Structure 1
Amino acid sequence: MSWKVFLLNSPVNYEDISKSRTGDNLKPIGLINTKPKISDNLQINNKIYHVCMLVFEEKYIGVREISFVDEDEVDETVEENFTCPYCQYIDPDAFELEDEGERNCPGCGSEIKYIRRVSVEYVVEPVKRAKIWRSDK
């Protein structure tokens, strides 16, 4: 049996996809014949999509469109945000991670290794200059 693939452009829940049966909401972008897993990447009509939702009862798949950086351009990065070097996904929950480790990118499923670097900065504002005592001479 075929699985219907739906493009999710914003946070969408199960009810949104279920409404698509009646044509009220989302339209399928394609069909696949094998059961995918969450975090699989699919190629449909020369575009790449990341599976982020499965509705087993109805055989619906929710996907987000992603793009990969050219393989020869993938390199180690040092950035303020936790950014995947493969798909450029910025992980808003990275602050919950350990200081170093390995994980799969939530945006594309690629394996990445990371180290958190912490720096300290000080913002210093003037309040009042110290008094200067002068001699009587």
Structure 2
Amino acid sequence: MSTKLYDISNWCRQGSELKSYPYIGEIDIDLNIGKVVKVGESYFSIGVLSHVEKNAGAREIEIDFEPEDKDYENNLICPYCGYEDKDSWELSDDDEKHRCGRCGAIVSYERVVTVEYNASPVEPPGIVTANWI
């Protein structure tokens, strides 16, 4: 059982063939998507798998084991790995928990709705001309 890791930080820029991406190294386990793999002092998120070829596309990530809340962000951001979920708007209004799409951690969330205003010019103010004395 082993898996070759390829760096997919630039996924889709080099095509869909894993072997066209920079080779990271080979590890001694089989993998699943949604798991974080620790190799030495590095952590990798697995994003693409080929069980047949025993290859995996991975991104090196940092894991915060003492995370702080991520308050008032435009998108849901995982406090463990920092992944920003650009599809946060699709999250349920009823659920309070979400599994991170990169590291698999479970985070609780609260959707905060604010009201903002935009203004556009329609008519300028009346101007009165004066002179210096």
Give the TM interval when normalised to the shorter protein. Answer: 0.7 to 0.9
Report how many residues are paired: 124
- Find the aligned partners of 2:100 and 2:11 in 1 and give their Cα distance: 18
Cα pair 1:100 1:116 within 8 Å, conserved: no
**Given the two structures, how large is their TM-score scaled by the length of structure 1?**
0.76
- Provide, for residues 106-133 of structure 1, a one-character-per-residue CA deviation record: whole Å limited to 9, x for no partner: 12111011111111111233423799xx
- Unaligned stretches of 5+ residues in structure 2: 127-133
Q: How does 1:46-125 map to 2 (within 5 A)?
A: 46-71=41-66, 73-75=67-69, 77-101=71-95, 102-125=97-120
Number of the residue aligned with 2:10: 10
- Find the aligned partners of 1:129 and 1:32 in 2 and give their Cα distance: 68
Partner SS state of residue 76, structure 2? coil
Shift of 1:70: 4.6
- Find the aligned partners of 1:32 and 1:58 in 2 and give their Cα distance: 14
- Provide, for residues 59-92 of structure 1, a one-character-per-residue CA deviation record: whole Å limited to 9, x for no partner: 0011111112351x42352322211111111111
- Find the aligned partners of 1:92 and 1:75 in 2 and give their Cα distance: 18
Write out the 4+ residue segments of structure 1 that deviate beyond 3 Å after TM superposition.
12-15, 128-131
Shift of 1:57: 0.9
- Find the aligned partners of 1:51 and 1:59 in 2 and give their Cα distance: 13
**Given the two structures, how large is their TM-score scaled by the length of structure 2?**
0.78
Quickly say closer, same or farther: Cα 1:122–1:77, change in 2 above 3 A: closer
Cα pair 1:2 1:32 within 8 Å, conserved: yes
Cα pair 1:77 1:85 within 8 Å, conserved: no
Which amino acid in 2 is paired with 1:65? E
- Find the aligned partners of 1:10 and 1:27 in 2 and give their Cα distance: 10
Which amino acid in 2 is paired with 1:95? W
